Amino acid sequence: MKSGQKSHPRPRAAAGFTLAELALAVGGRVVGDERLRLTGVRALSDAGPSDLSFLADERRLGEARASRAGALLVRSEAVLPGRPAVVVGSPMLALAVWLDRFAPKDRPRAGIAAGARVHRTARLGAGVSVAAGATVEAGVRVGARSMIGPGAYVGPEAEIGADCVLHANAVVQWRCRVGSRCVLHPGAVVGSDGFGYVWDGTRHRKVPQVGIVRLEDDVEVGANSTIDRATLGETLVGRGTKIDNLVQVGHNVVIGEDALVCGQAGIAGSTRIGNRVTLAGQAGIADHVTIGDGAIATAQSGIGTGSTVAAGAVVSGMPAAPHREFLRRAAWLARLPELARRLEEVERRLAEAGRGGSAWSSESPKS
Amino acid sequence: MKSGQKSHPRPRAAAGFTLAELALAVGGRVVGDERLRLTGVRALSDAGPSDLSFLADERRLGEARASRAGALLVRSEAVLPGRPAVVVGSPMLALAVWLDRFAPKDRPRAGIAAGARVHRTARLGAGVSVAAGATVEAGVRVGARSMIGPGAYVGPEAEIGADCVLHANAVVQWRCRVGSRCVLHPGAVVGSDGFGYVWDGTRHRKVPQVGIVRLEDDVEVGANSTIDRATLGETLVGRGTKIDNLVQVGHNVVIGEDALVCGQAGIAGSTRIGNRVTLAGQAGIADHVTIGDGAIATAQSGIGTGSTVAAGAVVSGMPAAPHREFLRRAAWLARLPELARRLEEVERRLAEAGRGGSAWSSESPKS
Amino acid sequence: MKSGQKSHPRPRAAAGFTLAELALAVGGRVVGDERLRLTGVRALSDAGPSDLSFLADERRLGEARASRAGALLVRSEAVLPGRPAVVVGSPMLALAVWLDRFAPKDRPRAGIAAGARVHRTARLGAGVSVAAGATVEAGVRVGARSMIGPGAYVGPEAEIGADCVLHANAVVQWRCRVGSRCVLHPGAVVGSDGFGYVWDGTRHRKVPQVGIVRLEDDVEVGANSTIDRATLGETLVGRGTKIDNLVQVGHNVVIGEDALVCGQAGIAGSTRIGNRVTLAGQAGIADHVTIGDGAIATAQSGIGTGSTVAAGAVVSGMPAAPHREFLRRAAWLARLPELARRLEEVERRLAEAGRGGSAWSSESPKS
């Protein structure tokens, strides 16, 4: 691979920023010259003398020492003595705050672009933009300043809150409801039919899925993720929950607030996920499961039909078990060939003892 | 989360329906006043006095008793004595039948919408609709009454049967064939290239994928699922098979009739899946596998390259084993730490015996 | 299922081709009449007397013998004595070469189709085509002969190299870079936001993702796969790497050259994958993992956070272990119920011995 270092795009600040400005914005304290002026924000390995970088994880201290960054966001000035820095409680949070201010905020011009189709009965709030190739159907409401991206589709009677972004080719099906400040990444589908069939003796007969999906405020749905509408009622994703790419959420599922659902995780029908739950990558949650607040299902874990995970629990493996238990089992599983050998040895000694030629014959009780 | 109860959308029936009408439509028997008039259909927990609900799973009897529903579809009047009901052999099937009659059937006006692109050589049957943003290429045939949704794409020489629905942004690539009454949910891709490369000594050389995908009648393909075209010949999905969201079907795969492929399951190249097979969520079937009619691969199971699953078998785990065997292993795996302790104890006793200080000295044979 | 045999589409060659022409093109040697004229290329089971077929895997020798193919690509004439053939070192490679020449190469007319939107500041190379429904934003550059498919989206300031194909509804987000000869299959998303949040005490605060994705030359991205942009810097996919359908690549990931990433595999943030690595179907690689050149992660394997896989290693299972170790463990796991029974037997015999009624009483030392 060719080095792409020179060509990394970077957030631009025409005139740059000083450490004093940075510290003020992120609530930090300057170490070194507060008039030091930087122009970019880059990762440790890419940063040069005019860039800000950050040390969020002290396991990367070596990289931080080697970095050519002009200044760093750090948790304590002691970790990098003598280097220009801004000391904050959480360098990652400070980074988020600063990038949010600093990052490009290009947004399309408000209005309906040529090549967009908006039904005459749709009601768009102030400052809404609808890109070319997008379709907004009859009876739709879109809140102020929301952006409907190119190729995106909003079905009949759907509602989109204020300040939402529907990226390219995102889909919201009929009657579904999206709160305010939600983001649907490219290709995300909200409101596809739930997977509901009933065998009628000769074929799988479809159970019409006439419920909806409701996303509360501040929800993100990752690229090409899919959230099925309820059979009746609603599939619900609570306020502040973030869903990564290629995630499947089945019909009638309820996810609480501030949950994190990582890439390729799947949640089958009618399962209830509590607040602040984390489902790690490729975790699979079967139907009619209940997961308590704050629980964690680790990567690739599998939680079986109808089971319950207690609040705060951490579960792993398939079938899922408490994480410590999983680790113990995994450790013993790795030693299973050894255990089998030891068992054979025990059997051999008993057999020898049984034949009178005891394995411990020299000190044998028969003497 | 705020309660969304008041705002659930519900199927509408202007004048509602009586229990007599319902019983007639679903082939059931009324318990109570057959003139009772209802206006909606809702889940047990959401239903009010003017709603129909249903009890399909008797584990939910408690919920049914607590439900405020005006009437219920039930298997036997004995389960909810004294409540208005319609008794049917399968409440879920009756629900499907009733919702099918009852659910909104909005369909776009027939014809080619402004903003749709249909090649002049494409042949559209009577009553076909092509939505804005859709593209229908040269030589395509679309059967009567099929709907091509917004942003959907039908490639050159593809054939779509009658009464199909291609939802928003669904894709059917060149020459692929879709039967009648098929549904492609948003973002579904039929006919993407198979993943075929051959190492030529210096690079992965692509094996052109010149076969097709053929979906027989009554197939559904879930949102953002992908079905690859064959290298030569065809990838085939049999009549009545239902595929959930985010499923991957590799090139040259053959799936039989009336199979169910649940969310995020994956099927690698050249595998053959029988009739009425169920692949549960996240199941992974490697290449060149054969799965017999009626078999079930449970959630997250992994079936290895070239293996065979007998008709009617139920397999679980990775590598997959008969389900009972999997459960036994899982149970013993959970007890593995205990087994290891017991083995240590046996070894300790043998060692003590070997040293002459037998673990069973008080009753020892040497006395 | 009805037999689709008659209706398989096949690559067409108006006048067909002779074995001599075939042998010349693929560097092989004719066995039989070199003037034999064929008109199609089909799989063993579908081929008729006017079709070429191939035997790439000698386990399919029985099928090859039964095939009605007019001639075959084979590794040695000895395997099918007396049949017309072209002998080559690699029948699969020869097939790839021949299909590449033979397969239909329909391509859209160069230019911007009616219904496509191309920003006036975008720069398109010679012979570029932009299909109806596609959007090309401001500042984009597209290299010569690249095809932007229907409904595809290229975001602001993105760069696409020469001879690329963006299939229907593929998305390249702002500033991302795609090399030459890359293929993005339908619905593929390049440059969606990385999944980065930091808890600020009351909510998940988004860490703006201001880096890019860079695909080097000759990369393919499968249907509905998603590749997230870096937080800062770039997510990188090396030259010649092929990515299958429904794959997730997290932010800041680096994949080397000529790697193969199979269907539904997932790679979490900041992981580094070497050259010529294979990730099989549904493999899950956690964050901050390092995988050495040429390593293989088998299907459904799970590699934990921060771990390292040596170059050339083959790993399996969850948590992943060397493949041989995995097989040994799986074999012992299958025997675990038996081991448990044997342990019980040992315990029983020891207990009996302890009670003086030894399990080996007939030959007992106390006699």
Across the interface, of B1, B149, B244, the residue whose CB is closest to A216 is B1
| Set A167, A185, A251, A323: catalytic member | A251
Percent of chain B with pLDDT strictly greater than 70:
93
Residue A11 reports pLDDT greater than 70:
no
Q: To probe the interface with A, which of B38, B106, B165, B224 has the most A CB atoms within 10 Å?
A: B224
The total of other beta-carbon atoms located within 10 Å of residue A179's CB is 23
Percent of chain B with pLDDT strictly greater than 90:
86
Over residues A125-140, the mean pLDDT reads: 97
Task: Quote the Cα angle for A176-A178-A182, to 5°.
Answer: 150
Closest chain B C-alpha to A94 CA, distance in angstroms = 29
- From chain A, the residues in CB contact with B8 under 8 A are 211-212, 232-234
* C-alpha of B172 from chain center: 20
- Whether residue A128 contacts residue A142, with contact meaning beta carbons closer than 8 Å, is answered with yes
What does chain A come to in residues? 367
Query: Taking the complete model, does pTM exceed 0.90, yes or no?
Result: yes
DSSP secondary structure string, A297-332? E-TT-EE-TT-EE-TT-EEETTTTEEHHHHHHHHHH
- Whether residue C231 contacts residue C252, with contact meaning beta carbons closer than 8 Å, is answered with yes
With both helix axes pointing from N to C terminus, report the angle between C323-334 and A336-354 in degrees, rounded to the nearest 10.
50
Residue A300 reports pLDDT greater than 60:
yes
For residue A99, the SS3 value is helix
A288 is catalytic: no
Where residue A14 falls among pLDDT bands split at 50, 70, 90? Answer: low
Q: Which residue in B350, B321, B349 sits closest to B333, CA to CA?
A: B321
**C-alpha to C-alpha distance for C224 and A215, rounded to whole angstroms:** 23
**C-alpha to C-alpha distance for C133 and B132, rounded to whole angstroms:** 9
CB contact under 8 A, C282 and B282: yes
- Alpha helices of chain B — where are they, by DSSP H? 19-26, 61-66, 91-102, 323-334, 336-354
Percent of chain A with pLDDT strictly greater than 90:
86
Where residue C19 falls among pLDDT bands split at 50, 70, 90? Answer: very high
Residue C176 reports pLDDT greater than 90:
yes
Residue C194 reports pLDDT greater than 50:
yes
**C-alpha to C-alpha distance for B59 and B75, rounded to whole angstroms:** 13
pLDDT score at A359: 43
pLDDT score at A103: 75
- Whether residue C332 contacts residue C350, with contact meaning beta carbons closer than 8 Å, is answered with no
pLDDT tens-digit map of C39-93: 999 999 999 999 999 999 888 999 999 999 999 999 999 999 999 999 999 999 9
Residue B358 reports pLDDT greater than 80:
no
pLDDT score at A307: 97
- From chain C, the residues in CB contact with B325 under 8 A are 334
**C-alpha to C-alpha distance for A237 and A244, rounded to whole angstroms:** 13
pLDDT tens-digit map of A169-196: 999 999 999 999 999 999 999 999 999 9
Q: To probe the interface with B, which of A318, A325, A327, A344 has the most B CB atoms within 10 Å?
A: A318
- Whether residue B142 contacts residue B116, with contact meaning beta carbons closer than 8 Å, is answered with no
With both helix axes pointing from N to C terminus, report the angle between A336-354 and C336-354 in degrees, rounded to the nearest 10.
40
Residue A40 reports pLDDT greater than 70:
yes
Where residue C351 falls among pLDDT bands split at 50, 70, 90? Answer: confident
pLDDT score at C356: 59
Q: HSE, CB side, 13 Å, CA atoms: give it for residue C160.
A: 38
pLDDT score at B7: 37
Dihedral sign for Cα A227, A230, A234, A235, please. Answer: negative
Residue A2 reports pLDDT greater than 90:
no
Residue A115 reports pLDDT greater than 90:
yes
Where residue B144 falls among pLDDT bands split at 50, 70, 90? Answer: very high
Most distant pair of Cα atoms in chain C: their distance: 104
pLDDT score at C6: 36
**C-alpha to C-alpha distance for C120 and C135, rounded to whole angstroms:** 12
**C-alpha to C-alpha distance for A112 and A131, rounded to whole angstroms:** 7
Task: Quote the Cα angle for B255-B222-A131, to 5°.
Answer: 145
Over residues B18-25, the mean pLDDT reads: 96
User: By 3-state DSSP, what share of chain A in percent is helix, strand and coil, each rounded to 5?
Assistant: 20, 25, 55
pLDDT tens-digit map of A133-154: 999 999 999 999 999 999 999 9
Both tokens of residue C150?
A: 């229907």
Residue C13 reports pLDDT greater than 90:
no
- Whether residue C269 contacts residue C250, with contact meaning beta carbons closer than 8 Å, is answered with yes
Q: Which residue in A263, A298, A301, A270 sits closest to A284, CA to CA?
A: A301
Q: Is the ipTM of this complex over 0.90?
A: yes
- Whether residue B87 contacts residue B29, with contact meaning beta carbons closer than 8 Å, is answered with yes
Closest chain C C-alpha to B98 CA, distance in angstroms = 30
Closest chain A C-alpha to C356 CA, distance in angstroms = 12
pLDDT tens-digit map of A242-261: 999 999 999 999 999 999 99
Over residues B12-39, the mean pLDDT reads: 90
**C-alpha to C-alpha distance for B226 and B268, rounded to whole angstroms:** 12
Question: Which amino acid is residue A99, in one-letter code?
Answer: L
The total of other beta-carbon atoms located within 10 Å of residue A31's CB is 21
Percent of chain C with pLDDT strictly greater than 90:
86
